Amino acid sequence: MREDGTSRSDRRRGNRVEADELLVLVAKGDQKAFEDLYAVVSGPVFGLVRRVVRDPAQSEEVAQEVLLELWRSAARYDPGRGSALAWVLTLAHRRAVDRVRSARSATERELRMARRSNGPAFDHVAEEVEAGLEREWVRRCLDRLTALQRQSVTLAYYDGYTYREVAERLSLPLGTVKTRMRDGLTRLRNCLGGVA
């Protein structure tokens, strides 16, 4: 019993009657009635959805969807077939079950896709062989360069030095290194043209 003398069952019966009356008004487009109905049914709707869906964030989403659907479809409520609260909770239960089924289907789809694509995305052996052949081709092309061209290209492209740093390491003028590098890269490009 509460201070006002009402028992829990009296309050539930009162909420049920209130929800019935409010839903009829909501069906006529009464926004204030919807606010009042929302206050009466939002707790039970969320509780039911939470028990079915379990995830709190998704439960909130589903509860909001149910309450939106309630506003849109209030005119379909038939007081002769049961209480408004029962009708609203049926909507909530259906929507929650749909969400669970949808999530389960998505998970199953992802698992099927993962099983289908379980094989290697590419042939590792073939990739390694190709990479090895390409490395060998590059080595052969580098061997065709002059010593200065090979040193310059190796320092710049394999060791990451700038042209200026290459010039300093080889004790050569910067212009000479740039010219040798350009000539070397042109010869490499021509040599490697057979790879593509």
Single-letter code of the amino acid located at 121:
A
Contacts of 152 (CB under 8 A, 6+ apart): 166, 170, 177, 180, 181, 184
pLDDT at 196: 41
Tokens representing residue 75 in the block: 């005119």
Cα of first residue to Cα of last residue in the chain, in angstroms, is 87
Single-letter code of the amino acid located at 102:
S
Single-letter code of the amino acid located at 148:
L
Tokens representing residue 135 in the block: 């490395």
- Residue 38 vs residue 11, higher pLDDT: 38
For tokens 């190709």, what's the residue?
130
Is 90 exceeded by the pLDDT of residue 12? no
pLDDT at 65: 96
Over residues 137-161, mean pLDDT: 85
Give tens-digit pLDDT for 78-116: 888 899 999 999 999 999 999 999 999 988 988 888 777
pLDDT at 14: 54
Indicate the pTM of the whole model. 0.53
Is 80 exceeded by the pLDDT of residue 35? yes
Instruction: List the Cα angle 43/44/49 in 5-degree steps.
Output: 100
- Residue 139 vs residue 75, higher pLDDT: 75
pLDDT at 194: 55
Is 80 exceeded by the pLDDT of residue 174? yes
Cα(107)–Cα(12) distance, integer angstroms: 39
Give tens-digit pLDDT for 131-142: 788 888 888 888
Whether 87 and 23 have beta carbons less than 8 Å apart is answered as: yes
